[in-house]
Structure 1
Amino acid sequence: PKMKRRHAVLCIWLLAAWLPAALSMIASPHPFMEKQPDGQEVKMHIHGTEVFSYLSDEAGYTVVQGNGNAKGQRWLEYAVLDDNDELVPSGLVVGKADPKKAGLNKRTTPRKETVMKKCRAKKFCSDDNSGPAKPKMSIQAITSGNLKNLVVAFKFADHATRPVPSRENLDVIMNAVGGDSELAPTGSVRDVFTVSSHGQLTLESTVYPWVTVSGTEAYYADGDSGTQVLWEGLKEALDIIDSDPAFDFKDFDLDNDGMIDAITFLHSGYGAEWGGTDAYGTGYRNRIWSHKWAMYSPGPWTSSNKGRGTVQVYTYHISPAVWGTSGSEIGRIGVIAHETGHFLGLPDLYDGSGGSGIGAYGLMANSWGFDGSQRYPPIMSPWSKTQLGWVTATEITADGTYSLSGSWNTPQVYKI
């Protein structure tokens, strides 16, 4: 396509501030059905991120679960804000009451200050100066060449007998060049970064055999789709691997800075970002929302010294190894690639409050892909590529006619 520059000013406000908070998968675009105590099914949607999420009906009215009646039944009810700026049930039952006639507003949510206060309490936000050193957004040291990535697949204690993808199949979705016709028909996670980096970054993942941690899924979710309690499980999984005399974390510290070069956690549950209740009866608040963050309190995990020094794990990202909310189909590349982008240092480029952000054509804004399957995640946006050093933008300073080729195979970017 051709682009002609005229005397005009184009202002793009993008990431005025990189919020120091957990960077997470945006909520599923797929509606889901929930059953009321009388058996009536209602169609619901989930919105938001790990930092704050909420449910709505098809019309966009906010929904919460009721407190329970004398029979112990908890109905889905329309939400209102109380005096503490908290979402509480209104007594108006979804599927029976008319929220519009009742004078309720669509998309009722707490103020940002209330959301951030709760987020800080679970240590997934850190926009104040209290407490230990907080995670800071920065580009990782290794964004070109070979990046060795340790994949830690772990089961929750109550999932010991659940069917999960094999280690070999996880290796396929992470590493197979060109993908696999059944497991990764559009390419692997490695392929996503090979294409986006124009061949400059090769993500080499090593999948360790499944380990089982001592806590349940609900314990680590902590009633809020994951809090700092999750770090206990992550550190326990690392301890189990570290106890293997044949395994040395130093193999994943090629730049010898004492920090692991890259790490991916895959868990045995269904992602909380799907919303709803899964096939085992677990609600999304008791599942883990896919995210990238850092184990900053009380501090990073440190390996044993097996002769070459210790290695620390501080930043991490976590995704489900299984797809959807039922069955044991292997997870898909969209969420893992998106969270890996965070690990490299990129922020979310979507609008968690419901806007479109940069739109559909960037991995950090649209990890679900054009069809919501996570099999067709877009490549990195030009801005993301420049941040990671994969392309250099040419600034347009004069009138003229300029040509651009397809961004997927040409490292060409103009800055207006």
Structure 2
Amino acid sequence: MLRRILFGLLAFSILFSISMAMPPHPELLQKIQTGQIPKPIFMSNPGYRAERGIDQGLARPLLETRAELVNANFLVILVGFSDRAGVMPPVYFDSLVFGVNPGPWGPTLRNFYNRASYGNFTIVSVNYPSTTGWRTAPNNRYYYTARGGDSTYGMGLYPFNSQGLCEWAVASVDPVVNFANYDNNGDGQVDGIILVHAGRGAEISGDTLDIWSHEWNITPQLRDGVNISYYCIVPEMWNSIYDMTIGVYCHEFGHILGLPDLYDYGYDSYGLGSWSLMAFGSWNGNGWGKSPAFLDAWSRVFLGFVTPTNVTCTMSWALVPSVEDSAKVFRLWTMGAIGPEYFLVECRSNIYSDTALAGHGLTIYHIDENQPDNNSQWWPGMPPTPHYRVALEQADNFFNLEHLINDMDASDTYPGIANNWYFNDYNQPTARDYNGAPTNIGVQFQSPSPLGVLAWLDPGTWAPFPPYPPTLIMPDGGASNQVLQHFEWTFVDHYYYHFQLDSTGGNFSHPIFEDSMVAVEYYDYLMSGYPDGYYLWRVNARSYCELGNWSDAENFYLDRRPPVGSVASSPSQTDSAYFVVTWTTGHDVAPSPEWWVASWSVYCDSGGGSPWAWQTDVYNLQATFTGAHDGKTYRFYALARDQAGNQEVWNGIYETSTHVGTGGPACTYVVGDANNSNTFTGLDITYSVRFFKGGPPPSYTCECPTGSGNFWYVAGDVNGSCSFTGLDITYMVRYFKGGPGPIPCSSCPPARR
């Protein structure tokens, strides 16, 4: 549990950082500003309170570790002085602080915080004031006020201040109080003591012998196994008996719980003015605090009394109910982004303790958690920083709170008497950030009703239409053997895509897989754990908020089983250099449809023992083998491939063979023998040159392939081009100069010679 750092362990000499809790009564403030009474030290030096640790609140709420505290124990100690005893009966404070029913003071402290927490936090006690009674301190009022410093009002030097008074009061009740009962969250700390001092509060009287209500801490006092450090001190009365109101008690107890002041310590602006208990709203109710302002939205969120609804998508005409009856606060920022700067929206009505508000409707707070306090007013045209930590966006755009013109008026709320129906980047006041950059948020209002206000809340994501459905590209039917399946679709304007995969027996009500946060136009999904069979897939797109329609579903067949049964056939022997090879279709293994065999490859072994791909992924069931050599045996096998890409596995056995025996005198030649001398010599070069110059042709021709009717001077082809040209003469010359040997035409090799 995070507690505030203790400021000062040696009470004699260390100045505690202090932040004053209770603002002066408006009438007293006027007297101070007009010089009728001396200015308190904490007003002449606005940093005095922050330097000394008074009413600064906590980094985290006091009871953060407890989600609910239906009954939280707090101790009230009544303390008088040697020169002024308490006159109110102690049982009066039983009722004012812990009573179930309101009284002439307004709601009780218990009432107020039970309502502000929506029933989750109820203040009770083990030792009520009526059981501990008034305690009389050994010193007079002067000792605990003016002796600590001029105009310090109980916040001067130790022990001449409220710290010294608190330490004495704790010791005085120790015999009858078990302080361990007041550690509500088990962190070893008493969560806070409420001191009620005899007499008036200086925030009304201005008397330098009176104590100005505040919250502070003392050097830890270990009693009953727990440390006592934190306390607030409030008055017995304002001017006369039975005239006490609850506002100051609620305000100071807010500090005990961890809330800071939300008014301007420099008193040149109002901060949140009378719209918040933690500012001047503690005086609401005939100017004396009988109807203190409700805790503002930021304070209730800070204490954990409310979890705001972070608006991430446009909410069209959402009901914003009155916060006095409903724990409903809306948080707005660009696209719902989380960060230190944002807006809070709530509805305030003139009910419960808010009866003294000047108006009703939506209140919009501009929050910047990076600011330490509400001491620095800001309005358009000023540098971006500093500014308030919690500012009210006043609907009339007059910035009266910042200009110290008034502490609230009926045109501060939306739409209010200013009839301001819009809050956005372009209306006034603007929804832009403190740097002047647009946030793109927008709020539109309808007239308030007894139930609250209907508002259009847009975090900058509004789109008039949902995105169109994408068109699926692949797979779009057919089959696939890919374990890592690739899905692809067309681009549409989107924020995310939603991808779904299902089996054919499903209807996507319970898809076998889905991903709703796909940023690109494809998806790769590992399907190693799925059986072969039909699958369906579809995609839709959504903008930041609008969900588009689903695409039409496409199917594909996952098939990882290769086909079988394709068999090659050829004549057992032939006397030709070419012959026809055929093969059967084969079939896919069940449950794949047989017609899914798509292509075939045929492999040939021409005698070397290494089969080579003669036909690759062809779509026909026969082909002519050409260029067969006399005396050789050619062996074949066929493999089918299905549409999924699976190829039949060869079992190592050739399915057919053909022996070639051409016989006879046909094509019995010596490569390069142009003059038909049965040898290849330089004379063949001379003969060939003469032929191409018009001399006699070679005497030997050959039909190649046999039966083709194609007779040519095959012996003159020495470069393997299956023709007799001048290039062959060049090749002959190179050969006799040491070049490569003659190459026969592969389609018509010499059978023998």
- Asked whether the equivalents of residues 77 and 195 of structure 2 are also in contact (C-alpha less than 8 Å), the reply is yes
AA partner of residue 326 (structure 2): T
Q: Tell me which residue corresponds to 1:194.
A: 114
Q: What pairs up with 1:180-219 in 2 under 5 angstroms? A: 180=103, 183-184=104-105, 186-205=106-125, 206-207=128-129, 208-219=132-143
Match of 1:71 in 2: none
Q: 1:290 corresponds to which residue?
A: 213
Query: 2:33 — aligned with what?
Result: 56
Contact 2:55/2:260, CA 8 A, preserved across alignment: no
Letter matched to residue 190 of structure 1: R
Q: How far, CA to CA, are the matches of 1:339 and 1:285 in structure 2?
A: 20
Q: Show the counterpart of 2:376.
A: none
Q: Which of 215, 227, 230 is 1:315 aligned to?
A: 230
Question: Does structure 1 conserve the Cα–Cα contact (< 8 Å) formed by 2:306 and 2:328?
Answer: yes
User: Is residue 193–residue 201 contact of structure 1 (8 Å, CA) maintained in 2?
Assistant: yes
Q: Within 2, Cα distance between the matches of 1:126 and 1:360?
A: 18
CA contact (8 A) 1:215 1:233 kept: no
Give the AA of the match of 1:192.
Answer: F
| Residue ranges of structure 1 left out of the alignment (5+ in a row) | 1-18, 31-44, 48-53, 66-78, 80-85, 88-108, 128-134, 277-283
Question: C-alpha distance in 2, partners of 1:197/1:372?
Answer: 25
Tell which structure's C-alpha radius of gyration is larger.
2
Residues 1:341 and 2:272 aligned together: no
Per-residue deviation at 1:55? 1.0
Which letter does structure 2 place at the counterpart of 1:392?
T
Matches within 5 A, 1:342-361: 342-352=255-265, 353-361=267-275
Letter in 2 for 1:211: R
Determine whether 1:247 maps to 2:177. Answer: yes
Structure 2 vs 1, CA of residues 374 and 125 (structure 1 numbering), >3 Å: closer, same or farther?
closer
CA contact (8 A) 1:139 1:345 kept: yes
Match of 2:80 among 142, 155, 170: 155
- Which residue of 1 is the match for residue 317 of structure 2? 401
Offset at residue 119 of structure 1 (A): 7.1
- Indicate conservation of the 8 Å contact 1:179/1:191, yes or no: yes
TM-score in terms of structure 2 length: 0.37
CA contact (8 A) 1:350 1:364 kept: yes
Q: Which runs of 5+ in 2 are unaligned?
A: 1-15, 333-753
For residues 291-346 of structure 1, the C-alpha deviation after alignment (integer angstroms, 9 at most, x for no partner) is 01112xxx22222x4xxxx222111101001123xx32352211001110110001
* Alpha-carbon distance between aligned partners in 2 of 1:288 and 1:269, rounded to the nearest angstrom: 9
8 Å contact kept, 1:220–1:233: yes
Counterpart Cα distance in 1 of 2:18 and 2:137:
26
For the 8 Å contact 1:271–1:290, the answer to whether it is kept is yes
Q: Secondary structure at the match of 1:165?
A: coil
Across the aligned residues of Structure 1 and Structure 2, the Cα RMSD in angstroms comes to 2.8
1:153–1:269: structure 2 CA closer, same or farther, 3 Å change rule? same
Distance 1:125 1:338, change over 3 A: closer
1:64, 1:188 → 2: CA distance? 32
Task: Look up the match of 2:278.
Answer: 364
The total of aligned residue pairs comes to 298
Q: 1:414 aligns to what?
A: 330
Q: For residue 201 of structure 2, what is the aligned residue in structure 1?
A: 271
TM-score relative to the length of structure 1: 0.65
Question: Partners of 1:119 and 1:344 in 2: how far apart?
Answer: 18
The offset of 1:252, in angstroms, is 1.6
Give me the whole-angstrom Cα distance separating, in 1, the residues matched to 2:286 and 2:295.
17
Structure 1, residues 82-131: CA drift from partner, whole Å, max 9, x if none? Answer: xxxx99xxxxxxxxxxxxxxxxxxxxx85xxx5436974xx45699xxxx
- 1:240 maps to a residue whose letter is S
CA contact (8 A) 1:23 1:342 kept: no
1:130 matched residue in structure 2: none
Partners of 1:247 and 1:275 lie apart in 2 by: 33
Q: Which amino acid aligns with 2:136?
A: T
CA distance in 1, matches of 2:49, 2:322: 43
What CA distance in whole angstroms lies between the structure 1 residues aligned with 2:166 and 2:113? 25
Letter in 2 for 1:140: L
For residue 20 of structure 1, report the CA deviation from its aligned partner: 5.2
Does the CA contact (< 8 Å) of 2:55 and 2:215 recur in 1? no
* Aligned pair partner of 1:172 in 76, 90, 95: 95
Give the distance between the partners of 1:260 and 1:171, measured in 2 at CA: 20
Equivalent residues of 1:153, 1:267 under 8 A apart: yes
Shift of 1:171: 0.4
Alpha-carbon distance between aligned partners in 1 of 2:113 and 2:55, rounded to the nearest angstrom: 29
Does the residue aligned with 2:118 lie in a helix, a strand or coil?
coil
Contact kept? 2:301, 2:308, Cα under 8 Å = yes
Instruction: Kindly state the Cα deviation for residue 192 of structure 1 after the two structures are TM-superposed.
Output: 0.3
Structure of higher RCO (CA pairs closer than 8 Å, 6+ residues apart): 1
Q: 1:22 to 1:215 in 2, by over 3 A?
A: farther
Distance of aligned partners of 1:384 and 1:211 in 2 relative to their CA distance in 1, 3 Å threshold: same
